């Protein structure tokens, strides 16, 4: 006779417990927000390259597959639908003026407009670039796709390499990234996972080769010509920028040889896959040291106005030598 009331009692106690738990979680969430706590993987990873969290929050949003993308990424993809020349890479390309400079040179010679898209994203590695091609370039019909990676790949990570970050993003934790409690849980998981580990590059050298190989093949499947570009630098042994030792390259004396290994890997992939190569690193190395340094910002990584001009001219020369003219781009 008392069974219905007993069931109702258990349901009431269960509901009361859930409400109390929700209230506690709500208080914890409010407390974390009031304390200014924030932990987003897109910021934690990207700060390894550009330690300006406010810029990251303002200009990039979370993406499950790519970790972060520009806030206008959908608009960029829409432009890529009609593009015949697509530029992929990191901040050297996203913020560089050489893509638009090359287009202007090509259009001046052809007397007509060339549809193009710059889909490079600051802080990206070859891992994200490959995922971008696989997910976002499907349905596009470019004639040429340039791939310019290598810097962010060999920077030291937050303790997890990019493949591990991808696995974490694909876990249930990702669904809670919009809450401070979820971010706290993610921080705890990252801390437990990386405890006692030695620093690792975001993309190990072997993985870098694998990513570029897969990217080249994926571009070919689109019916486009993949053009690999090596990343030049003005860095010299014994004159490395000291700030890079803070978190990017703890053993500063390894900066130049490490970057050269990644540059050589680009050449190896180009040979193995019979892909087109524009060896900017070799071209810049052939310049007198003072002239080479005059083409870069103080970090020795990003091009200044003179560097962008030189790169655009070097690419134009490669396009003309290989017959990648406007007719090729518009066929």
Token pair for residue 221?
């499947």
Across-strand partners of 201? Answer: 156
Please give the share of the chain, as a percent, with pLDDT higher than 90. 56
CB of 234 closer than 8 Å to CB of 296: yes
pLDDT tens digits along 251-280: 889 999 999 999 999 999 999 999 999 999
Confidence of residue 189 (pLDDT cuts 50, 70, 90): low
- Length of the chain, please? 331
Tell me the average pLDDT across 299-318. Answer: 97
CB atoms within 10 A of CB 54: 8
Confidence of residue 169 (pLDDT cuts 50, 70, 90): confident
- What's residue 96's pLDDT? 96
- What's residue 62's pLDDT? 83
Q: Give dist(CA 52, CA 75) in Å, integer.
A: 24
- What's residue 160's pLDDT? 81
Question: Longest C-alpha distance within the chain, in Å?
Answer: 97
Any idea which of 79-93, 190-204, 224-238 has the lowest mean pLDDT? 190-204
5 or 221, higher pLDDT: 221
pLDDT tens digits along 56-104: 667 888 888 998 899 999 999 999 999 999 999 999 999 999 999 999 9
Q: Where are the alpha helices (DSSP H) in 60-123?
A: 73-80, 91-94, 98-110
Tell me the average pLDDT across 242-258. Answer: 86
- What's residue 296's pLDDT? 97
Q: Give dist(CA 47, CA 51) in Å, integer.
A: 4
CA distances in angstroms from 292 to 184, 281, 317, listed in the order given = 45, 11, 18
List of domains in the chain: 39-70+159-200 (no CATH), 72-156+201-330 (3.40.50.1110)
Predicted structure pTM score: 0.85
Q: Exposed/middle/buried for 10, CB within 10 Å: 0-12, 13-18, 19+?
A: exposed
DSSP 324: -
- What's residue 50's pLDDT? 53
Tell me the average pLDDT of the chain.
Answer: 86
Tell me the average pLDDT across 301-321. Answer: 97
Q: Where are the alpha helices (DSSP H) in 241-325?
A: 255-273, 280-285, 289-293, 305-322
- What's residue 98's pLDDT? 98
pLDDT tens digits along 11-56: 767 677 777 776 776 776 677 688 777 766 665 665 545 555 566 6
């Amino acid at each position: 006779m008392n069974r219905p009331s007993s069931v109702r009692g258990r349901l009431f106690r269960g509901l009361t417990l859930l409400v109390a738990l929700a209230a506690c979680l709500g208080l914890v969430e409010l407390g974390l927000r009031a304390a200014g706590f924030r932990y987003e993987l897109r910021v934690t990873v990207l700060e390894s390259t550009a330690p300006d969290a406010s810029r990251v929050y303002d200009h990039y949003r979370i993406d499950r597959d790519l970790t972060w993308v520009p806030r206008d990424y959908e608009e960029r993809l829409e432009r890529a639908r009609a593009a015949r020349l697509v530029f992929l890479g990191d901040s050297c390309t996203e913020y560089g003026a050489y893509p638009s400079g090359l287009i202007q040179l090509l259009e001046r010679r052809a007397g007509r407009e060339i549809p193009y898209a710059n889909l490079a994203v600051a802080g990206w590695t070859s891992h994200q670039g490959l995922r971008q091609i696989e997910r976002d370039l499907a349905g596009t019909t470019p004639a040429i796709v340039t791939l310019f990676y290598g810097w962010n790949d060999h920077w030291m990570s937050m303790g997890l390499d990019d493949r591990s970050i991808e696995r974490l993003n694909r876990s249930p934790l990702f669904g809670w990234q919009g809450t401070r409690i979820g971010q706290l849980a993610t921080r705890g998981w990252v801390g437990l996972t990386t405890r006692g580990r030695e620093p690792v590059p975001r993309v190990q050298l072997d993985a870098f080769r694998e990513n570029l190989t897969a990217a080249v093949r994926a571009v070919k499947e689109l019916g486009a010509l993949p053009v690999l570009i090596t990343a030049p630098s003005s860095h010299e042994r014994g004159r490395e920028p000291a700030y890079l030792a803070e978190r990017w390259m703890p053993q500063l004396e390894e900066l130049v040889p490490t970057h050269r290994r990644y540059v050589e890997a680009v050449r190896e992939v180009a040979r193995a896959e019979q892909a087109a190569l524009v060896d900017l690193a070799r071209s810049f190395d052939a310049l007198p040291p003072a002239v080479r340094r005059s083409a870069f910002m103080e970090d020795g990584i990003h091009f200044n106005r003179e560097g962008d001009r030189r790169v655009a001219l070097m690419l134009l020369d490669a396009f003309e030598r290989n017959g990648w003219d406007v007719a090729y781009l518009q066929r």
